[in-house]
Amino acid sequence: MRNVETILAQFKEIAANPRQAVADYRSETGKGAIGIMPIYAPEELVHATGYLPVGLWGGNQSINQARTYLPPFACSVMQQVMELECQGAFNDLAAVVFSVPCDTLKCMSQKWKGTSPVLVFTHPQNRGLESANRFLVEEYTRLQSRLEEITGVKISNAALENSIRVYNENRAALREFVRLAADYPQFVGAVSRHAVFKARQFMEKSRHTALVRELIGALTAQPLQPWSGKRVVVSGILLEPDGLLELFDELKLAIVDDDLAQESRQLRVDVQEGNEAPLYRLARVWQRMYGCSVATDTKKLRGKMLIEMAQKTGADAVIAAMMKFCDPEEWDYPIYFDELEKKGVRNLMIEVDQGATSFEQARTRLQSLAELL
Amino acid sequence: MYALGVDVGSASSKAVILDRNRKIVAAEVVQAGTGTTGPRRVMEQIFSKTGLHREDIVKLVATGYGRMRFEGADRQFSEISCHARGVHYLVPEARTILDIGGQDAKAIRLGNGGEVKQFFMNDKCAAGTGRFLEVMARVLETDLERMAALDTAADSPVSISSTCTVFAESEVISQLSHGASRENIIAGVHNSVAAKACGLVGRCGVEGTVVMTGGVAQNAGVVRAVSRELNREILVAPNPQTAGALGAALYAWDDARRERGDETG
Ligand code: SF4
């Protein structure tokens, strides 16, 4: 049996080399890759074509060419995506699947600078009406036929059901990993925890599940040890780059749960089993989604969710990882901030800039938090 | 036995020495921050002033932007913790702190025992900090010391709408070319700094006695503007630039006492 460290090293290797992952996939299967833009997409449809769905969640480079097309106050993840587009980094993708739940994504979807076809679809704002489900089924049907055209693969119901099962299993395995990571912070630091999620974006999901299961096996073989540091829940779009995560490890802040769009929000809702058509069940996921800044929530339950997360995991604090210039997240923040304060849940906001190279501000904030806990 | 706190900021270096009775022996400021000779000079200055030597210092704590790069510290604490401690020592009734330094601004809310309840720091840019004032002083051909006095002569402060320091600079230039008086522009600049800093205080929640620290607290014009903006009286911490270094010295003093036991108490 391989040990925890070796398995984590493999996750890190894959997470750091998406290009290699795509090349390996192509040479093994003869099929290419399809890009999936943040935040939510019915990836199962892409998986059912046999193409590799690849998450396009930015990078960590200096922004140059993107300045031509984006104002400086566009969120940092889209600045990164645009920079990569301009460099032609996505041009070997067979297509890019593009949801448009925020203004920045809407604009981005209309000025793609790469050469791959862009398949835009819309999530309905209204998440209460049955007609909204039917609308989304229509959107997914369109998306399906475009994918079929591009890949030359007819997506059968059986193939789609299989992909749904693969994704549900993957989400279940990752949820278990999240719980275990909280128990074994000595083994799974913030950088490693993130690598497990990041690698997910570049791996065929049944393979990812197998690797996560192997990691779970290796972790549970270890004795539990007391943790001398603090425990935190993080919330936001994403928590990168590694330099920022290293601060968590250095200051002994164990991430015991997350509400990150790039991480656990992707696991929050499974596709339900049932007799309805698979596309309908896929569409229903959007209405069952909760606690996310881009999924309209008239009841504003994110604060309550974060409080419960902190209570359940025994977290010492909630950290808002605020994506620089992300308006949906900024709008949510004052609401859940007030609720955390009222409940007496310690909390902190740090700013996330994917291209950051210095972390002094974040260090000061995180160190201050660690000192006062 | 003595304990020393050093606060290495982006624009200045500060040091404070406490004696065995937790009394301030000396507090020094050098207007040069991390990456310069400032940190070394402030240490030389405080030692020559007091006649003490490094060997007399039982514990040394560093804080500030350059705390990790300062050599010879026994421990590092964040600016937030140090400002809170320093201010609580000086003004025990303080419940809200607004610190405006060279490149950053922070608002801290304190509990009854001086513990940090919440804090916010500026992000994205240097608007609303000391650097902003420096840039404006240059365009207005004055210096930071004279700005407060000129502010009192304003009769109709102009409004500076740009958040960005660079755009605000061109805005000031255009105000000048339109004949606005320096006094009114300076008052406008002070209002603009106050508005931005008070945004942080607003996020944090204003409670009880509000105390200002940091280099900018020495500018009475900004203090008046903050007071108007928050609609309450503002106390300026004695020797406001050294509040963080004082907090660091207090942490050092605790460590020293722990190490030396009762002997130092
Ligand atoms: S949700 Fe936020 S981070 Fe994501 S694309 Fe929109 S603005 Fe950017």
Q: What domains can be seen in chain A, in order of their start residue? A: 1-19+156-226 (1.20.1270.370), 31-153 (3.40.50.11890), 228-373 (3.40.50.11900)
Q: Does position B167 have pLDDT exceeding 90, yes or no? A: no
Atom of ligand 1 nearest to the CA of A75: 8
pLDDT at residue A122, as a whole number? 97
Domain boundaries, chain B: 1-91+241-265, 93-236
The two structure tokens encoding residue B210: 């509000």
Q: What is the pLDDT of residues A36-77, one digit of tens each?
A: 999 999 999 999 999 999 999 999 989 999 999 999 889 999
DSSP letter (8 states) at residue B215: G
Distances from the Cα of A315 to the Cα of A242, A257, A310, B141, B253, angstroms: 22, 8, 5, 53, 31
Instruction: Flag whether residue B205 sits within 8 Å of chain A, measured between CB atoms.
Output: yes
Q: Could you list the pLDDT tens digit for every one of the 373 residues in chain A? A: 899 999 999 999 999 999 999 999 999 999 999 999 999 999 999 999 999 999 999 999 899 999 999 998 899 999 999 999 999 999 999 999 999 999 999 999 998 999 999 999 999 999 999 999 999 999 999 999 999 999 999 999 999 999 999 999 999 999 999 999 999 999 999 999 999 999 999 999 999 999 999 999 999 999 999 999 999 999 999 999 999 999 999 999 999 999 999 999 999 999 999 999 999 999 999 999 999 999 999 999 999 999 999 999 999 999 999 999 999 999 999 999 999 999 999 999 999 999 998 898 899 999 999 999 9
Residues A233 and A239: their CA atoms lie apart, in Å, by 12
Q: Which two tokens stand for residue A299?
A: 């009841």
Burial of A108 (0-12, 13-18, 19+ CB in 10 A): buried
HEC letters along chain A:
CCCHHHHHHHHHHHHHCHHHHHHHHHHHHCCCEEEECCCCCCHHHHHCCCCEEEECCCCCCCCCHHHHCCCCCCCHHHHHHHHHHHCCCCCCCCEEEEECCCHHHHHHHHCCCCCCCEEEECCCCCCCCHHHHHHHHHHHHHHHHHHHHHHCCCCCHHHHHHHHHHHHHHHHHHHHHHHHHHHCCCCCCHHHHHHHHHHHCCCCHHHHHHHHHHHHHHHHCCCCCCCCCEEEEEEECCCCCHHHHHHHHHCCEEEEEEEECCCHHHHCCCCCCCCCCHHHHHHHHHHHCCCCCCCCCCCCCHHHHHHHHHHHHCCCEEEEEEECCCHHHHHHHHHHHHHHHHHCCCEEEEEECCCCCCCHHHHHHHHHHHHHC
The verdict on A364 touching B (C-beta cutoff 8 Å) is: yes
Q: Whose CA is nearest to atom 2 of ligand 1?
A: A326
CATH code for the domain defined by B1-91+241-265: 3.30.420.40
Beta bridge partners of B18: B3, B24
Q: Chain B interface, mutation test: which of A366, A372, A373, most B Cβ atoms within 10 Å? A: A372
Question: Do residues A105 and A36 lie in contact, with contact meaning Cβ atoms separated by under 8 Å?
Answer: no
| C-alpha span between A336 and A320 (Å, rounded) | 10
Pairwise CA distance, residues A151 & B225, whole Å: 64
Distance between B151 CA and the closest CA of chain A, angstroms:
32
| Cα–Cα distance measured from residue A163 to residue A141, given in angstroms and rounded to the nearest whole number | 16
Residues of A in contact with B76 (CB under 8 A): 367
Residue A188 to residue A5: CA distance in whole angstroms: 9
Superfamily of domain B93-236: ATPase, nucleotide binding domain (3.30.420.40)
**Burial profile A29-50: b = 16 or more Cβ within 10 angstroms, e = fewer:** eeebbbbbbbbbbbbbbbbbbb
Q: Of A63, A58, A23, A22, which is closest to residue A37 (Cα–Cα)?
A: A58
> Rounded to a whole number, what is the distance in Å from the CA of B223 to chain A's nearest CA?
25
**Residue B251 at interface with chain A, using a CB cutoff of 8 Å:** no
Dihedral class, residue A252 (left if φ above 0, else alpha if ψ from -120 to 50, else beta): left
Beta-carbon contacts of A184 under 8 Å, excluding residues fewer than 6 positions away, are A4, A219, A222, A224
Smallest CA-to-CA distance from B168 within B132, B200, B194 is with B132
Spatial distance between the Cα atoms of A321 and A215, rounded to a whole number of angstroms? 27
Decide if pLDDT at B176 tops 80.
Answer: yes
Write out the H or E segment, with its range, that includes residue B212. strand B209-213
pLDDT digits (tens, 9 = 90+) for B229-261: 999 999 999 999 999 999 999 999 999 999 887
Q: Does B205 sit within 8 Å of A341, measured CB to CB?
A: yes
**In the structure encoding, which two tokens stand for residue A150, read together?**
């591009």
DSSP letter, residue B255: H
d(CA A171, CA A81): 25
Q: How far is the CA of A206 from the centre of ligand 1 (A)?
A: 28
If you measure CA to CA, which chain B residue comes closest to A373?
Answer: B116
Residue B178 token pair: 């339109």
- Using the Cβ of B79 and the Cβ atoms of chain A, whether some distance falls under 8 Å is answered with yes
Structural contact between residues A141 and A135, judged by C-beta atoms closer than 8 angstroms: no
Residue A35, strand partner residues: A54, A96
> Cβ atoms within 10 A of the Cβ of A356, count?
17
Nearest neighbour of A368 by CB, restricted to B65, B80, B104: B80
ipTM above 0.85, yes or no: no
Domain pair B1-91+241-265 / B93-236, same fold: yes
Instruction: Provide the sign of the torsion angle of the four alpha carbons B154, B156, B161, B162, taken in this order.
Output: negative
Cis peptide bond N-terminal to A39, omega within 30? yes
Q: Is the pLDDT of residue B264 over 60?
A: no
Helix (H) / strand (E) element for B34: namely none
Say whether the peptide bond before residue A241 is cis (omega within 30 degrees of 0): yes
Give the A:B interface size as CB pairs under 8 Å.
39
Q: Which residues contact A67 (CB under 8 A, 6 or more apart)?
A: none
First-to-last CA distance in chain A? 38
Q: How far apart are CA B261 and CA B250, in angstroms?
A: 16
Average pLDDT, chain B: 91
d(CA A330, CA B48): 50
